[in-house]
Amino acid sequence: MSEKTVRVELDARSYPIHIGSGIWEQYLLPLTVGAEVALMVDDNVAAQPWFAALRTKLTVSAAKFVLLSVVAGEKTKNLSVFSQLCSELARAKISRRGKIIAVGGGVVGDLAGFVAASYLRGIALVQVPTSLLAAVDSSVGGKTGVNLPEGKNLVGAFCQPVAVIIDLDFLQTLPSRELAAGMAEVVKYGIIRDPEFFELVKNGAPRDLSRVIEKSVLIKAGVVANDEREETGLRAMLNFGHTIGHAIEQTTGYGQWLHGEAVSVGMIGAAWLSHRLVGLPLTVTREIYSALVANKLPVTISGLDFARLAPVIAMDKKSTGKSVNWVLCPELGRTTQNNKVPDEMLREAIEICAGRKAI
Ligand code: GLY
């Protein structure tokens, strides 16, 4: 693949997203020469064959180096681990000039980003995503944070990275479950923003991921550049499927379902609500279902029920006052927001998500 760079245009906080194979040294090392570097990974990343070389080269290039390693998985994204990481930085005497290099999936990126936003009131962050989901979504756009027992991502900060480096070689060894989870966000971009892109990905993940990554980050960069802090309603469209998805993650215990898997089932619920409330044709609702199946994603999770999910959905951080801000899709490529989803309709959507009712 030829190498590509997409820019997130945010005035003084603009940054490049580099995409290509074998590119990490070219873009990462210059950012670390003579710097105070905190490399943050999880134990899966630390076990990768390329990790030793990356660590050694950063150690040589940096003036000061500390490795922050966390246990892999969503359960790690909590305030206690956040606090331990800040203490490790303090003990290593990382100053305001320090840089956190987050090499990993969404959990590492979100946690590292929140540490970067908070430690000494903010130090620089470089995102090096190693999962498809992190590459196409969580490493771009500056949302960082941790989960609370009460809900997903309820504590966090906006912290734009200084660069995102997507080295496709790091994605080569992704387990198929992780790959599928990333495709959930890719399919989402097609649904909310680009019917042609939906056509391209509706039959499954292509062998060469470069095109889907580039297109996904182009869509995300465009949305973030126009509504960085989710204030105008534009960025909220990226939450399609996430209202039910987050509630699934929380009520099933963080980590049982990968974020992308929960979002896949959440998109089934959101597509159904879109059909019932804003006129998404049933044929398209079924096409969305088939696209998620073709991408090897779960479309139902048995045991989901209204009584458990509804109170968690009501806590959703996107709630405005008393009502939840639902992102719905009246037609492929377009979204609308609705804060009046009747309980009976939500109950019906959850029956579908649980597989007790057919679409
Ligand atoms: N993942 C949703 C967003 O970045 O806004």
Domain 176-353 has CATH 1.20.1090.10: yes
**Which residue among 74, 88, 230, 351 is the active-site one?**
230
Residue 189: pLDDT band (50, 70, 90) is: very high
Rounded-to-integer distance, Cα 219 and Cα 206, Å: 18
**pTM of the model as a whole:** 0.95
Residue 1, pLDDT above cutoff 60: no
Is pLDDT above 90 for 320?
Answer: no
Mean pLDDT of all residues in 170-184: 95
Kindly tell me if the per-residue pLDDT of 193 is higher than 80: yes
The whole-number average pLDDT for the span 91-97 is 98
Where does CATH 1.20.1090.10 sit in the chain? 176-353
Section 312-328 average pLDDT:
80
| Count of beta carbons in the 10 Å neighbourhood of residue 287 | 17
Cβ of 143: how many Cβ atoms within 10 Å?
23
| Cα 203 → chain centroid | 22
Q: Whose CA is nearest to atom 3 of ligand 1?
A: 238
In this prediction, residues 194-210 reach a mean pLDDT of: 96
Query: What class is the 4-171 domain?
Result: alpha beta
Q: Which of 137, 189, 243 to mutate to test ligand 1, by most ligand atoms within 8 A of the CB atom?
A: 137
Q: Which residue has the tokens 């019917």?
A: 195
230 is catalytic: yes
Residues 6+ apart with CB under 8 A from 153: 110, 143, 145, 146, 147, 246, 317
* pLDDT score of 2: 83
Q: What is the mean pLDDT of residues 72-87?
A: 97
What's the whole-number average pLDDT of the chain?
A: 96
Tokens 């990490």 found at: 24
Q: Is the CB of 143 under 6 A from ligand 1?
A: yes
Provide, rounded to the nearest whole percent, the portion of the chain with pLDDT above 70: 98
| Residue 325, pLDDT above cutoff 90 | yes
246 is a catalytic site residue? yes
Answer whether 53's CB lies under 8 Å from 68's CB. no
In tens, the pLDDT along 219-232 reads: 999 999 999 999 99
Question: Ligand 1 mean position to 61 CA, how many Å?
Answer: 33
Predicted confidence band of residue 321 (pLDDT cuts 50, 70, 90): low
136 lines ligand 1 (CB under 6 A): no
Q: Which of 143, 158, 243 to mutate to test the pocket of ligand 1 (most atoms within 8 A of CB)?
A: 143
Other CB atoms within 10 Å distance of the CB of residue 228: 20
pLDDT in tens, 251-272: 999 889 999 999 999 999 999 9
Spatial distance between the Cα atoms of 270 and 215, rounded to a whole number of angstroms? 23
C-alpha of residue 132 to centroid of ligand 1, in Å: 15
Pairwise CA distance, residues 208 & 322, whole Å: 45
pLDDT band (50, 70, 90) for residue 317:
low
Tokens encoding 96: 């305001």
For CATH 3.40.50.1970, the residue range(s) in the chain are 4-171
Strand, helix or coil for residue 252: coil
Per the CB < 8 A criterion, the answer to whether 125 and 115 are in contact is no
| 172 phi and psi angles, rounded to 5 deg | -60, -40
For 353, the enclosing helix (H) or strand (E) is: helix 343-353
In short, whether 238's Cβ falls inside 6 Å of ligand 1 is yes
